[in-house]
Amino acid sequence: MDLVYQLLFTGIGIGSVYALVALGFVLIFRATNVVNFAQGEFSMVAAFLMVIFAVDLEWPYWLSLILSLGGMAIYGALFNLGVYYPLRHRTYLPVIISTIGASILVTNSTLALYGPQPQVLSNLLDFQGINLGTVFFDSQYLLIIGVTIVLVAFQYWFFEHTLLGKKLQATSQDKEMASLLGIPVAAMIMITFVYSAMIGGLAGILVAPILFVSIHMGGTIALKAFAATIIGGFGDVAGAIIGGLALGVIETFGAAYVSVPYKDGFAFLVLVMFLVFRPQGIFGERVAEKA
Amino acid sequence: MSHFTRRQIAAGLMLGVAAPAIIRSASAQSATLKIGQVVPITGPAAEAGKYAMAGAKIALEAINKNGGILGKQVEIITEDDQTTNPGAVLAFSKLATNADIVGFIASIRSTQMHAMAPDILKTGKPTMFGGTDPTLTKLDNPWLFRCRPNDTYSGKVIAEFGVKELGLKKWGIVHSTDAFGTNGMKALDESLKALGITPVVIQGYANQSQDFTPVVLALKQAGIDILSSYFTFEGDLGIFARQLRQLGVTAPWVGSPSIVNTSAIKLAGPALNDTYGVADYAEDSSPEAKAFANNYRALMKVAPDNQSSWTFDAMNLLAAAINKAGKTDPAAVREAMLSIKGYKGAEGEYNFDKNGDGLHGYNVVKNVKGSIEFAKHIEFPS
């Protein structure tokens, strides 16, 4: 039974990372109706910022974390201005191509600036983890799960109980109507990009001590997070969380009980099954309708 | 107005067609001698690629300082393989179109070597490589020359060391499911069976995995008393090593060469302390290895590993073979390469066999708090 608990804990831990990145996907999709294929690079850039502040400059972790997330807020704003805003009146296709281009540019720029070496970022907490019986709870996974819970609660409160949150929701539901009601749509979209970059960045910083910091870390996570958003229901916040967690648990148990080499295959098998039998995902609307 | 005869026009046309070739030939006579290198500049192995280029560069500088090859200065032309099979094929194809290139230094990755092998056969020029899949020198491809011992030897050395020196019997094997990892696992499995041992658990994994919990739990449940591994990428090895120790597996670990790579030691940290590795390159294994280490440290400011030592040897061996042949004709260089016996390189003593395998033994080394200590060398007859 301990084996099951260990797998469940790890699955939820890795699933929480997918969920956080998926959340970023969903927020931008809801606001702009396009998929941001540079979402994974938000995680990578934030992790490298953390390496610069915490490892290279040896500043305190808490300060490095604040500066990295602040840096991601600026990055999100610049990303909006450079990648989305100039193409906002075009169809979704040029914007998607623009995000793919941005992804390649950011990855190669990081390679040119920082080199190809994977970097080590130590755990954010001072202890490695705790043993309960024969089950080991990695402190970093505990932190990731905790942050995911807090962030989901914060997001619920923010979107349901604040004026800014409601303005953002109104913008994502109907931009024209929101504009007619006096909501500054461009500013709302800007805030969405900033928030999305910060969430993606936080996921990158949290997972960096486990997966190391490398220019390819974002791509791997983003692929799974993208699958999670489709499983959960594209455009649905709760769906992104449930989809991410489900994906993490399914691939971990699939690897343990069926086959390790096909671990990624289980995640994408589930994705294909959803696309065939329930394309709207667990909570969402059909992707085809949204596109 | 003068009129050209048909003969004059034909002669003019012929001259026009032949001129570029004549000019190219003339410039080739005076130009440098070129070696092509396929190397990962981007992708997950980009760091290893940097080391591979440094190894070849150290050899190149020494060769040029000593008069070059056949009296000409030497130049290396690199192409990025992007750490992918299609990237490797594309990189080699681009280099192969350059008729001035007289030999190649290809990949340390067996999967990429399999992908490039058909083009290497078509190009028909000596190609040095570092991939350790034993089947690579049995493809009926006369242009492949291996500068590292193959996994038949690594499997034998791991098995002999674990069973005879450490006296352990309950083996667990973890391997990448790519060509390198799978064939390495098979070679080790065969070597263990030859010693009367069947591994209690064999676990494959796909490269670029983010989590090894199921693998570690399988090892734990099987109750292994010794672990062996064939990891392709150091990042995977780093994640696995940490999770292995966190989940309480403390069995002795004898790994394939990647376990003692500079990158792996940096990423995994103390999780790799007290592990053993079979290493084709070990700094204290010979005066040549030591001399290379000193030159490498002066250039790169870090300790060398097999990513750089094999390209260093590959460049030197190409130079030695071409000089021995006295010309760049591929068949003559091949013959000269196969006749190399007792050449002392950074990786060990090269004695090429008819298949193109240059090395026939491995060093066993131990990670003592992050520094690699030479334990012993095990050599097999070629």
Q: Are residues B194 and B310 in the same domain?
A: no
Strand, helix or coil for residue B347: coil
> CA dihedral defined by A5, A7, A12, A13, rounded to 10 degrees?
110
The one-letter amino acid at B353:
D
The residue with greater pLDDT, A6 or A280, is: A6
Chain A CB within 8 Å of residue B247 CB: yes
- pLDDT tens digit string along A105-148? 999 899 888 877 789 998 888 888 898 888 899 999 999 999 99
- Classify residue A155: in a domain, yes or no: yes
In a domain, A134, yes or no: yes
Nearest residue of B to residue A128, measured between CA atoms: B246
In a domain, A167, yes or no: yes
Show residues of chain A in contact with B80, CB under 8 Å. none
Hey, are the CB atoms on B263 and A117 less than 8 Å from each other?
yes
Residues A46, A119: contact at Cβ < 8 Å? no
The whole-number pLDDT of residue B55 equals 97
> Does residue A235 form part of some domain?
no
The CA angle B321-B325-B329, to the nearest 5 degrees, is: 100
* SS3 category, B304: coil
Cα B39 to the chain's mean position, in Å? 11
| A3 contacts chain B (CB < 8 A) | yes
Same domain, B267 and B289: no
Q: Are strands B74-80 and B371-379 parallel, antiparallel or unpaired?
A: unpaired
pLDDT tens, position by position, for chain B (382 residues)?
445 565 555 555 555 555 555 444 444 454 799 999 999 998 878 888 999 999 999 999 999 999 999 999 999 999 999 989 999 999 999 999 999 999 999 999 999 999 999 999 999 999 999 998 989 999 999 999 999 999 889 899 999 999 999 999 999 999 999 888 998 999 999 999 999 999 999 999 998 888 999 999 999 999 999 999 999 988 899 999 999 999 999 999 999 988 988 889 999 999 999 999 998 899 999 999 999 999 999 999 988 988 999 999 999 999 999 999 999 999 999 999 999 999 999 999 999 999 999 999 999 999 999 988 998 888 888 7
In-domain check, residue A54: yes
Contact A118 B209 (CB under 8 A): no
CA-based end-to-end distance of chain A: 44
pLDDT at A111: 84
Q: Please check whether residues B248 and B373 belong to one and the same domain.
A: yes
Query: Best of B174, B201, B213 to disrupt the A interface by mutation (most A CBs within 10 Å)?
Result: B213
A126: which DSSP letter?
S
B275 Cβ under 8 Å from any chain A Cβ: no
Domain shared by B176 and B242, yes or no: yes
Query: Which residues of chain A neighbour B42 with C-beta distances below 8 Å?
Result: 108, 111, 116
Same domain, yes or no, for B237 and B369? yes
pLDDT for B3 = 55
Contacts of A6 in chain B (CB under 8 A): 213, 217, 247
A234: in domain: no
CA–CA gap between residue B88 and residue A240 (Å, rounded): 37
Q: How confident is the model at residue A173 (pLDDT cuts 50, 70, 90)?
A: confident
Rg of the Cα atoms in chain B: 23
B209 & B220 share domain:
yes
- Residue-wise pLDDT for A24-50, tens only, equals 888 888 888 888 999 999 999 999 999
Partner residue facing B214 (CB), from A117, A118, A252: A252
Output the pLDDT for position B8.
Answer: 59
By the 8 A CB rule, do A183 and A167 touch? yes
What are φ and ψ of residue B37, in 5° steps? -125, 125
Whole-angstrom Cα distance, residue B200 to residue B190?
A: 14
Please check whether residue A242 lies inside any domain of the structure.
no
From chain B, the residues in CB contact with A267 under 8 A are none
Q: Which residues form the domain of B141?
A: 33-149+284-351
pLDDT of residue A127: 82
Alpha-carbon span B319 to B278, nearest angstrom: 28
Alpha helices in B269-370 (DSSP H): 287-300, 306-325, 330-338
For residue A118, give the nearest of B209, B248, B267 by CB distance.
Answer: B267
Looking at beta carbons, which residues of chain A come within 8 Å of B206? 260-264
- Tell me if chain B has a CB within 8 Å of the CB of A14: yes
Cross-chain CB nearest to B235 (options A3, A118, A264): A118
Domain that holds residue A48: 2-216
- pLDDT for A133 equals 84
Sign of the alpha-carbon dihedral angle for B11, B16, B19, B20: negative
B17: in domain: no
| Residues B258 and B169 reside in one and the same domain | yes
Give the CA radius of gyration of chain A: 19
Spatial neighbors of B204 by CB under 8 A, at least 6 apart, are A260, A261, B174, B175, B176, B177, B181, B182, B185
User: Which residues numbered 26-65 in B keep a CB inside 8 Å of some CB on A?
Assistant: 42-44, 46-47, 49-50
Q: In chain A, what residues touch B211 (CB-CB under 8 Å)?
A: 10, 14, 252, 255
Q: Answer whether A166 touches B (CB < 8 Å).
A: no
* Low-confidence winner among A55-69, A267-281, B84-98, B230-244 (lowest mean pLDDT): A267-281
Distances B344 to B60, B147, B349, B351, B354 between C-alpha atoms, Å = 17, 12, 4, 9, 19
> What residue ranges in chain A does DSSP mark as E strands?
129-132, 135-138
**A276 CB-contact burial (10 Å; exposed 0-12 / middle 13-18 / buried 19+):** exposed
Instruction: Say if residues A59 and A53 touch (Cβ distance below 8 Å).
Output: yes
Q: Is A259 left (phi over 0), alpha (psi -120 to 50) or beta?
A: beta
Same domain, B65 and B202: no
Number of domains present in the structure of chain A: 1
Burial class (CB in 10 A: 0-12, 13-18, 19+), B81: buried
Contact B46 A111 (CB under 8 A): yes
Say if B196 falls within a structural domain. Answer: yes
Q: Among all chains, which residue has been given the structure tokens 């012929």? A: B14
Which chain B residues contact residue A117 at CB under 8 A?
A: 47, 263
User: Are residues B101 and B77 part of one domain?
Assistant: yes
Residues β-bridged to residue A132: A135
CB B240 within 8 A of CB B232: no
Q: Is residue B4 part of a domain?
A: no
CA distances from A201 to A45, A70, B43, B94, B370 (A): 7, 10, 22, 39, 32
Round to whole Å and give the CA distance between B37 and B107.
8
Residue B369 shares a structural domain with residue B226: yes
Q: How far apart are CA B112 and CA A261, in angstroms?
A: 20
Q: What is the CATH number of the domain that holds B156?
A: 3.40.50.2300
Q: Are residues B206 and B57 in the same domain?
A: no
The answer to whether residue A255 neighbours chain B at the CB level (below 8 Å) is yes
What pLDDT, on a 0 to 100 scale, did the predictor assign at position A65?
95
Q: What is the pLDDT of residue B7?
A: 58
> How close does chain B come to A243, measured CA to CA in Å?
18
Q: Residues B163, B262: one domain?
A: yes
| A117, B47 Cβ separation under 8 angstroms | yes
Structural domains counted in chain B: 2
Which of these, B156, B179, B305, B175, lies nearest to B237 by C-alpha position? Answer: B175
Q: d(Cα B292, Cα B280) in Å, to the nearest integer?
A: 14
B2 within some domain? no
Q: Tell whether B1 is covered by a domain.
A: no
Helix (H, G, I), strand (E, B) or coil at B67: coil
**Spatial CB neighbours of B290, under 8 Å, sequence gap ≥ 6:** B283, B284
Is the Cβ of A129 closer than 8 Å to some Cβ of chain B? yes
Question: Å from B245 to nearest chain A CA?
Answer: 11
Q: Which of A219, A222, A220, A234 is nearest to A275 (CA)?
A: A234
